[in-house]
Amino acid sequence: MFVLEKIAEYAKDANRKAVIHGDKVMTYAQLEHYSNAFADYLLKNGSNKTPVVIYGHKEEQFLPCMYGALKAGRAYVPVDITFPADRLEMVLSDVAPEFFVKLRETDVAVKEGTQSLSIDKIDDIFASYKGGAVANENWVKPEDNCYILFTSGSTGRPKGVPINRANIENLYNQLISWCDIEAETDIITNQISFSFDVSVVSVYMGVSLGKTLYTIDKSMMETPAALYEGLGSSNLSFWVSTPSFAELCAMSEHFNEKMLPNLKRFLFCGETLTHKLVDTLHERFPNADVVNTYGPTEATVLVTASLITREMAEDPKPIPIGEPLPEVEFRIVDDKGNLLKSGETGELQIISDNVGHGYYGRPDLTEKVFFETESRGQKKRGYRTGDAAYEQNRLYYFCGRMDFQIKLNGYRIELEDIENNMVKVENVSRAVVIPVMKEEKVDYLAAFVLLTKAIDGPKLREITRIKSELAKLVPAYMVPRKIVLCDSLPTNTNGKVDRKVLAAQL
Ligand code: AMP
């Protein structure tokens, strides 16, 4: 597999840096050695090929464990610490892994047959390994899954999206032109948590091209002084993130070409890129390209890419999500599946070898959105995105979702996931979650809540209790910022809750 072969090749240069995290550096030689050590451990101690679940956040052991799993012919399932214990337990129950790597402490229960490996154990495995490269006949094969990412599911249970080696290699071959900056010393961001697919650009494309991953972790992001100091000393040349992270950085006027003099390209994915951000970046980084890309996890990270010109930024139309990559076909269809004409808005379907094979262990969900079709004379997989879009002059424009899925600060959230978890909180009988918009994007979430029993104490205390109970069931970013306790909910003529009326109250 290209990324594993490339790591071995770059490891021959003992000084080549793979990852920088604060004042720690991991060379490609160490990455190669540690991933071989972990692969060897899995091969010697494992009895099946179940995916390896890795729980943590940007620890230096995370990447070697991911590549080590691939070298041992297994997929990995990265679970970020934003997942509360309840969700982590659901993932463990769906995957039933033989190995569970705990890079952070958690008291989550594991089933019999699952071996938990603590961070100390992983360090031991790395330190004690005396062997060499793990033979590549053990590596994942083209049809084998490389990773499974769990995303928000409307039922209140996350759903796993497996992506195989062929999907990733197909993406790599098409994206290479957008990633290829010549110098060996190129430094690329490693900010997106590994459980979110935009990180794949750095983990697969960045590493395959021998770049250095510059880590920006959660604690850095929570302390503006540390973030700006880190960025200032990073010497980044290639930026990959959601627009939300760049917006956060742009809150300081010092986020400009002086802070990052070698920055040549911003590559965005995952949510709407706003005019405001494009204008800011064009002004503050006149020598850097801004590239917008679009894609769902189900179709391997991204399926478009477009350089955003000043002309596009000046056009009042939304910033385009771009042109499909060469192998990708887009279809815009109406609600009966009929193809629409250029300029007409409908659901966007992706037809490509980048489309995965469905949801992990969920044929019912798979059947609803994945399909097979013919494209350019070949059999291909298709995916119904649920995104409304239109095409004009070969560029595609995103017009929002057709269902209750949203993006908040780059996180993919099914509003029904929150609603279904809120009713598990004591004294909540019904919850309706509304996204509040600002400047082309969701600004925050608000929930209208009906209680089972009237409360005696102050409303604020009840709201705080609901929020903290909910935070045990869903990641913190899914807890609505505003909760409104109400006696009844407005309904429309179909008898359904009228979300528009509720939104107008905010
Ligand atoms: P995820 O699976 O987390 O990557 O989320 C996929 C969804 O994010 C898509 O179906 C879109 O709704 C949204 N999305 C991804 N990229 C973009 C983009 N460049 N502009 C607008 N929305 C996007």
Q: Which among 398, 413, 415 is the best mutation to test ligand 1's pocket, defined by most ligand atoms within 8 Å of the CB?
A: 398
Asked whether 398 lines ligand 1 (CB < 6 A), one says: yes
Q: Residue 65's CB: how many other CB atoms inside 10 A?
A: 28
Which residue intervals of 273-329 are DSSP H helices? 275-284, 310-314
Residue 266 is which amino acid? Answer: F
Asked whether 401 lines ligand 1 (CB < 6 A), one says: yes
63 exposure class (CB count in 10 Å sphere: 0-12, 13-18, 19+): buried
Distance CA 501, CA 433 (A): 13
Asked whether 407 lines ligand 1 (CB < 6 A), one says: yes
Residue 407 β-bridge partners: 412
1-140 with 162-401: one CATH topology? yes
The topology (CATH level 3) of 1-140 is Rossmann fold (3.40.50)
Nearest protein CA to atom 3 of ligand 1, as residue = 412
Tokens of 300: 């391997």
Residue 66 is which amino acid? Answer: M
CATH number among 3.30.300.20, 3.40.50.12780, 3.40.1260.10, 3.40.50.720, domain 162-401: 3.40.50.12780
Asked whether 419 lines ligand 1 (CB < 6 A), one says: no
In this structure, what is the dihedral angle of CA atoms 226, 194, 411, 439, given to the nearest 10 degrees? 50
Integer CA distances (angstroms), 117 to 12, 53, 97, 162, in order: 29, 10, 12, 23
Domain ranges of the chain: 1-140, 162-401, 409-504
Asked whether 414 lines ligand 1 (CB < 6 A), one says: no
Query: DSSP string covering 104-156, please?
Result: S-------TTPEEEEHHHHHHHHHH----PPPGGGSPPTTSEEEEEEE--TTS
Look up the CATH number of domain 409-504. Answer: 3.30.300.30
Nearest protein CA to atom 13 of ligand 1, as residue = 271
Asked whether 390 lines ligand 1 (CB < 6 A), one says: no
Sequential pLDDT tens for the chain (506 residues): 789 999 999 999 999 999 999 999 999 999 999 999 999 999 999 999 999 999 999 999 999 999 999 999 999 999 999 999 999 999 999 999 999 999 999 989 898 999 999 999 999 999 999 999 999 999 999 999 999 999 999 889 999 999 999 999 999 999 887 776 665 669 999 999 999 999 999 999 999 999 999 999 999 999 999 999 999 999 999 999 999 999 999 999 999 999 999 999 999 999 999 999 999 999 999 999 999 999 999 999 999 999 999 999 999 999 999 999 999 999 999 999 999 999 999 999 999 999 999 999 999 999 999 999 999 999 999 999 999 999 999 999 999 999 999 999 999 999 999 999 999 999 999 999 999 999 889 999 999 999 999 999 999 999 999 999 999 999 999 999 999 999 999 988 777 899 999 999 98
